[in-house]
Structure 1
């Protein structure tokens, strides 16, 4: 077989016929959770492209069985490297108990043939006849003409999809994989980047195409659509999407040529007459007339009528080819039966033309111009192709990371990379936004378990984790967290787990004072202002807020300031104003300063305030987060009910909220201290902080800082409305929710509310989550801890049984 690619520059290639193609990878999008109207909109994306003015298109879907090690996390935490290796081995062992060969993953590609002006085409073909190169400085006018048209295609495609221009090595990969699929499981674009030239033994024996490489032979089979309904069936005609949940990888190549309506009518008439001629010969010979032939004649008559009634609509000539690979003919026959039965439900008939197998194989090569027999070319409207739903997927998760759960009806594994946020610049693949993630759900929904699990795996594989634990749900981790590991690794792991309960001893006095936790004095003064203004219920428009702001700024003149310095300044307001601003305040202002000082001092009468009011004469040792897993809890917090109005907060509620605000400030300081190391920050009961203007500003600042400091902030709350700064949230998890909250969650995920979705979310089991990844793909997943002992340790239910009983129950449930 002559190699079809003659010239290649990144995503632009020229084939042996002189045709110029440009190829793009498009991000797959979820489809199952769209409403009926949204599904129509999804279909119209491809329809919009096919209504464009381009001469030809190539739609390519490749499905690979990815080896599990291609998902392997980076193992960045060298302290826990042995633990990471053990956990990853167990994750692979668990995954292989479901899928022996790996994980199915689809890739979607679109090729567009661009047509330069006629004079340019002739020059290109003359060059290809000789030994010249298309992309050289000797012919800059061709170079610029082609590049200019490619930019137009990319701009047009960007209005429909999220395209990435292919790199040269990716074109090489798409070419070479046709000769290596099924032979090498580790064959991927990263390993095969050197060249797109390929070789291999391809032969047609025993009615099947055989491909041999590296002393291994596999069987290829290619099926082409020989009959399908011309008019699509709307929502039920997703014939492309329908073949993605089969038990084996199925590739798809659709080559499309555009025609004017007039040309399409002429071709339809010629094809109908050809079919009628075949039927006439059979009748004259008194032979059996194939009913399928009569059906195809009637279909072509319908096509002619459709063309006449839609004169302005472009018509397409399309060949639709499915490709599969297996080790034996018997396996191919099983796959063939499954594939044909699936498509028969869509009234699509597949044929495996034996003599055309090599040409059908070539149809999967970018830029190739293989011969496809006229019987296998369908004349179609754009809607008939777009209704197949090209680019849809039910895969969710990351392309690298730890195993977090399973999703979809086929139980596809979900891998998760906590360090990645969504792309913000399509021209810069490395530019991402914040990796922050929101987790919502009512108590018992599994939101805390999900956050804990992500935090633990993040620490083991990626860097550090910090959990702020206002309810002290993690107090038992010191004894239970490491039980999932063998004894030698358990000791290593637990040496990197630090649990600090604040508020129990004198060593905690002032440890969360903003002037103690913050390395930046200016930031410390701002945090002090936020904390005290909340405590005194002062808004930014209050004059007391202005005075408090000045008092905080005066601390720059104190050697070791603390929050205790503020009431001291306010009680001596006249002298501070005179000494540092050269003004004399009036009596009303002095009186107000005194009142503010008394109100701040009165808060210190409550024991919990001891944590954030440091003694300037006895400064505490700052809180450190030097371990891999850091848990900071506060003893005897009085958190208000989530539905309680702030006007009804007691002083205990306010002081408890201040503790969480100060803890947030301490975490922020830690983030800036380790800018290069990935950090997971789990903020439990986020609503308690973000329900206040001051707290919301602090959490917003934390999230924005996290983006630049390699930190993922995880606000964890019962309700969506308490998630701060949602525009910087990447992935989203939502557990059980009912009523209006379920509707809000659906809208938060960018979906259209429906009774079906609301009832599904209202029926979630513990650990079942609606999950949207950073590519905005949505699906339902079941979070899995992999280790039963870890699942038990993370279970905070008050009626949790002992470990042995829990294991016995789980084993019995799995056997059942």
Structure 2
């Protein structure tokens, strides 16, 4: 069969019939967990995209591209920075070995391409334009003559290319109002062709198509061999399949095409392109060639069909027979369609729907084809494998090709095409980066780059760097949080972890290969730690120390800035201490007693009452303590023993003294974290706040958290909040500054609804609620920086990481008594 492509320039493809198509990649949009109303909106947007073309042709192509696991992880190595590069490479190599053993060398990813036939019918008709068109036609004739009879080169007029390029640019702007698209280039076309002609194991992003061309002022010349080079393979046609030999690899390919649509497709539920991604564990390609029938022509066809059916009905009546049910149903359908076309003025669409499936052996190919037949049959669609038409159906996948056969065409409306879910995705994460697990629904690996959101990359829905880990106890949020922070550090980040439960004490021992980069500060009530959390000791800037001292003491004493009597007295004493040679919180008590007024004595007694607790010694210094908490390691863990954290549902008025002191310490350390994020902006930093709800419940903690998150983006720092419920994350201002969201299993319906609202999903959708409720340990609902939502399973791979990060209590050791003699 004649190769249909005549010329390729950027995203434009000319076929041998002289038609020009502009091809775009439709950037996949999130479709998981959308409510029926949200799906209807997507459907309407795509219907309008289709129906805006009142004439011409469309080509929709879903391609199962391949991504090499090893190549992806090798590209990920280029993202590693810092002193832990060797350790990171060892982990990445270990991941590559484990993943290729478990999932194979390559993983399938789906890409969506859409081609529009360009029509140049808007130009003003003038004598000059007529002469120009005539001259172009003559030049095209001689170019075609030379190509046909003289040989190996094809000549394309630059002026014609420019005319179509302008039309394609205008079309891209129209499409971009509803969907994100990317114009294709020669590498895309080269991969697409080689894929159709048997290429396997080639990473899409690493593929390059060499298509040299010689440009002059008026023309561009390409060698015909270079154009058909991607198709070089041996094809053997059988009755219902073809065998393609590409290099040393052979594959068996069969094509299925739609024969009949025997029932109504209910939407939502008919998104074939979407469901195929998770339904099958083998690659599937789908081509949809669409010829647009204008409204006037469509009405003529429908009315002619209506006359035929009425003739059948009349003939049955005259012969004394009853009209068959099929004729009656067809008449009803034709009436409804005629009314719809007449009212909406919409076009009809003449489609050829072809599915391509391949296998290493003929048996594997047949088995996969049978699974596809069953899948489509459940949707009231009847595909067939035509006898002797395999090469013709194969050619329909080639860009700008025409429909091969009219035996299997279907007449549909734009609603049908829009309901197929073209472009809907279940993808998660980035193309390369930290491997953290896999998509539960598709099995595809998930990679993250925690620091790229602030780079303003096109297509992202956020520029925030912060993340939230939500869920009830035992779902895996702490383990997953630890795993992500650890890998981020290996890739070059620096982390400050606030650990109020002292669960990370064993990290230096369990991760002994990097113990020199782990600094664990264990703040106990021992004498040598006295005053280490005093605002005047822990912070280097005296002005910041004074502000933190005010926040700490007003929180402990309950004095509001609106208290006209007590607040000025306390503020004056703190100011005097700040100006002293060796400031410390204990000296605030001395200053208040020195003022010797009833209000000052009352405040002094109140503050002094807190100093009796053992671990309160960390807060109160006489100014002689020295700052010993350093942040010079890659992982810095601050643990405070004996903290008594209040329950999440407690109000501040209900806190006991120990809880007040505990929250005050968390506030001080979170303020210390602000100093941490203001270090080198080129260094990505993570502030990890475990049990974040404890200080988000108080006014001072809220303010400090918002400051951390707000300043984090500009300072190249992400704040990771680990808490139990999305409602702990305060208002929309904080939630809007959280980019990556991880929600683990929850059973409380209120928490489930809060979480779904946080993700921007329908909180009342029972399917969404049940999915969140039924997550297994280590699984979470995940939303990435692209807005995609799916179920992620964290995969630690290495046993030493599981041992280091597991926060569960150890199992009791069973003691077996010695047999009595």
TM range (shorter): 0.7 to 0.9
Q: Where does residue 102 of structure 1 map in the other structure? A: 106
1:289-326 Cα distance to aligned partner (Å, 9 max, x none): xxxxx999999767644431212233212222222333
Pairing partner for 1:421 from 445, 449, 453: 453
Confirm or deny that 1:470 pairs with 2:500.
yes
Contact 2:9 2:186 (C-alpha < 8 Å) held by counterparts? no
Q: Where does residue 148 of structure 2 map in the other structure? A: none
Taking the aligned partners of 1:702 and 1:242, their CA distance within structure 2 comes to 41
Contact 2:254 2:385 (C-alpha < 8 Å) held by counterparts? yes
Confirm or deny that 1:751 pairs with 2:761.
yes
Contact 1:18 1:124 (C-alpha < 8 Å) held by counterparts? no
Q: Where does residue 123 of structure 2 map in the other structure? A: 119
Q: Where does residue 775 of structure 1 map in the other structure? A: 786
Contact 1:407 1:782 (C-alpha < 8 Å) held by counterparts? yes
Report the alpha carbon displacement of residue 678 of structure 1 after superposing the two structures with TM: 2.7
Confirm or deny that 1:402 pairs with 2:421.
no
Taking the aligned partners of 1:769 and 1:431, their CA distance within structure 2 comes to 20
Confirm or deny that 1:168 pairs with 2:192.
no
Q: Where does residue 281 of structure 1 map in the other structure? A: none
Unaligned runs of 5+ in 2: 144-154, 213-226, 311-323, 817-821
Moved more, 16-25 or 416-425: 416-425
CA, structure 1 residues 608+240, in 2 after alignment: closer, same or farther (shift >3 Å)?
Answer: same
Secondary structure of 1:467 counterpart: strand
CA, structure 1 residues 211+710, in 2 after alignment: closer, same or farther (shift >3 Å)?
Answer: farther
CA, structure 1 residues 166+707, in 2 after alignment: closer, same or farther (shift >3 Å)?
Answer: farther
Report the alpha carbon displacement of residue 6 of structure 1 after superposing the two structures with TM: 3.4
Pairing partner for 2:797 from 772, 780, 786: 786
Pairing partner for 2:401 from 369, 381, 384: 369
Confirm or deny that 1:187 pairs with 2:206.
no
Taking the aligned partners of 2:158 and 2:604, their CA distance within structure 1 comes to 80
Which runs of structure 2 are paired with 1:308-387 in the superposition (5 Å)? 308-310=338-340, 311=342, 312=344, 313-353=346-386, 356-366=389-399, 368-387=400-419
Contact 1:435 1:712 (C-alpha < 8 Å) held by counterparts? yes
Taking the aligned partners of 2:454 and 2:253, their CA distance within structure 1 comes to 37
Confirm or deny that 1:153 pairs with 2:184.
no
Contact 1:114 1:150 (C-alpha < 8 Å) held by counterparts? no
Contact 2:21 2:115 (C-alpha < 8 Å) held by counterparts? no
Secondary structure of 1:694 counterpart: helix
Taking the aligned partners of 1:145 and 1:546, their CA distance within structure 2 comes to 71
Taking the aligned partners of 1:630 and 1:100, their CA distance within structure 2 comes to 37
Pairing partner for 1:511 from 529, 532, 546: 532
1:738-792 Cα distance to aligned partner (Å, 9 max, x none): 1311222222222222344434433444333222233333333433332345334
CA, structure 1 residues 15+769, in 2 after alignment: closer, same or farther (shift >3 Å)?
Answer: same
Q: Where does residue 609 of structure 1 map in the other structure? A: 616
Secondary structure of 2:374 counterpart: helix
Contact 1:515 1:525 (C-alpha < 8 Å) held by counterparts? yes
Q: Where does residue 67 of structure 1 map in the other structure? A: 68
Q: Where does residue 577 of structure 1 map in the other structure? A: none
1:602-652 Cα distance to aligned partner (Å, 9 max, x none): 54444433334454344323x223333332100111111222211111222
Which runs of structure 2 are paired with 1:211-222 in the superposition (5 Å)? 211-222=244-255
CA, structure 1 residues 134+264, in 2 after alignment: closer, same or farther (shift >3 Å)?
Answer: farther
Contact 2:289 2:403 (C-alpha < 8 Å) held by counterparts? no
Secondary structure of 2:123 counterpart: helix
Taking the aligned partners of 1:194 and 1:523, their CA distance within structure 2 comes to 61
Contact 1:173 1:189 (C-alpha < 8 Å) held by counterparts? no
CA, structure 1 residues 142+321, in 2 after alignment: closer, same or farther (shift >3 Å)?
Answer: closer
Q: Where does residue 285 of structure 1 map in the other structure? A: none
Moved more, 201-210 or 469-478: 201-210
Q: Where does residue 644 of structure 2 map in the other structure? A: 638
Confirm or deny that 1:178 pairs with 2:195.
yes
CA, structure 1 residues 108+555, in 2 after alignment: closer, same or farther (shift >3 Å)?
Answer: farther
Contact 2:530 2:625 (C-alpha < 8 Å) held by counterparts? no
Report the alpha carbon displacement of residue 699 of structure 1 after superposing the two structures with TM: 0.9
Report the alpha carbon displacement of residue 690 of structure 1 after superposing the two structures with TM: 0.7
CA, structure 1 residues 785+800, in 2 after alignment: closer, same or farther (shift >3 Å)?
Answer: farther
Taking the aligned partners of 2:249 and 2:777, their CA distance within structure 1 comes to 47
Taking the aligned partners of 1:512 and 1:538, their CA distance within structure 2 comes to 21
Moved more, 207-216 or 256-265: 207-216
Report the alpha carbon displacement of residue 502 of structure 1 after superposing the two structures with TM: 1.0
Taking the aligned partners of 1:496 and 1:730, their CA distance within structure 2 comes to 28
Moved more, 370-379 or 599-608: 599-608
Confirm or deny that 1:200 pairs with 2:217.
no
1:394-452 Cα distance to aligned partner (Å, 9 max, x none): 34343323343344355444444333439967xx4589512322111222222211212
CA, structure 1 residues 89+804, in 2 after alignment: closer, same or farther (shift >3 Å)?
Answer: farther
Contact 1:254 1:320 (C-alpha < 8 Å) held by counterparts? yes
Pairing partner for 1:247 from 281, 284, 293: 281
Moved more, 146-155 or 730-739: 146-155
Confirm or deny that 1:307 pairs with 2:337.
yes
Aligned residues: 751
Report the alpha carbon displacement of residue 600 of structure 1 after superposing the two structures with TM: 4.4
CA, structure 1 residues 804+265, in 2 after alignment: closer, same or farther (shift >3 Å)?
Answer: farther
Q: Where does residue 440 of structure 1 map in the other structure? A: 470
Confirm or deny that 1:532 pairs with 2:553.
yes
Contact 1:466 1:680 (C-alpha < 8 Å) held by counterparts? yes
Q: Where does residue 584 of structure 1 map in the other structure? A: none
1:694-748 Cα distance to aligned partner (Å, 9 max, x none): 1111111111222223322211111211125111112222223213112222222
Taking the aligned partners of 2:702 and 2:741, their CA distance within structure 1 comes to 19
Q: Where does residue 741 of structure 2 map in the other structure? A: 732
Q: TM-score, normalised by structure 2?
A: 0.80
Pairing partner for 2:94 from 82, 90, 93: 90
Contact 1:80 1:492 (C-alpha < 8 Å) held by counterparts? no
Taking the aligned partners of 1:22 and 1:200, their CA distance within structure 2 comes to 19
CA, structure 1 residues 506+135, in 2 after alignment: closer, same or farther (shift >3 Å)?
Answer: farther
Report the alpha carbon displacement of residue 41 of structure 1 after superposing the two structures with TM: 3.6
Contact 2:303 2:338 (C-alpha < 8 Å) held by counterparts? no
Q: CA RMSD in A?
A: 4.0
Secondary structure of 2:736 counterpart: helix
Taking the aligned partners of 1:225 and 1:217, their CA distance within structure 2 comes to 27
Taking the aligned partners of 1:359 and 1:767, their CA distance within structure 2 comes to 48
Moved more, 381-390 or 229-238: 229-238
Contact 2:302 2:338 (C-alpha < 8 Å) held by counterparts? no
Taking the aligned partners of 1:238 and 1:143, their CA distance within structure 2 comes to 33
Report the alpha carbon displacement of residue 795 of structure 1 after superposing the two structures with TM: 3.0
Taking the aligned partners of 1:508 and 1:135, their CA distance within structure 2 comes to 79
Report the alpha carbon displacement of residue 21 of structure 1 after superposing the two structures with TM: 2.1
Taking the aligned partners of 1:329 and 1:605, their CA distance within structure 2 comes to 81
Taking the aligned partners of 1:102 and 1:769, their CA distance within structure 2 comes to 25
Q: TM-score, normalised by structure 1?
A: 0.81
Secondary structure of 2:58 counterpart: strand
Contact 2:25 2:111 (C-alpha < 8 Å) held by counterparts? no
Secondary structure of 1:224 counterpart: strand
Pairing partner for 1:452 from 471, 476, 482: 482
Taking the aligned partners of 2:332 and 2:454, their CA distance within structure 1 comes to 47
Taking the aligned partners of 1:113 and 1:93, their CA distance within structure 2 comes to 46
CA, structure 1 residues 323+763, in 2 after alignment: closer, same or farther (shift >3 Å)?
Answer: closer
Moved more, 399-408 or 795-804: 795-804
CA, structure 1 residues 553+48, in 2 after alignment: closer, same or farther (shift >3 Å)?
Answer: farther
Taking the aligned partners of 2:329 and 2:67, their CA distance within structure 1 comes to 41
Taking the aligned partners of 2:608 and 2:514, their CA distance within structure 1 comes to 44
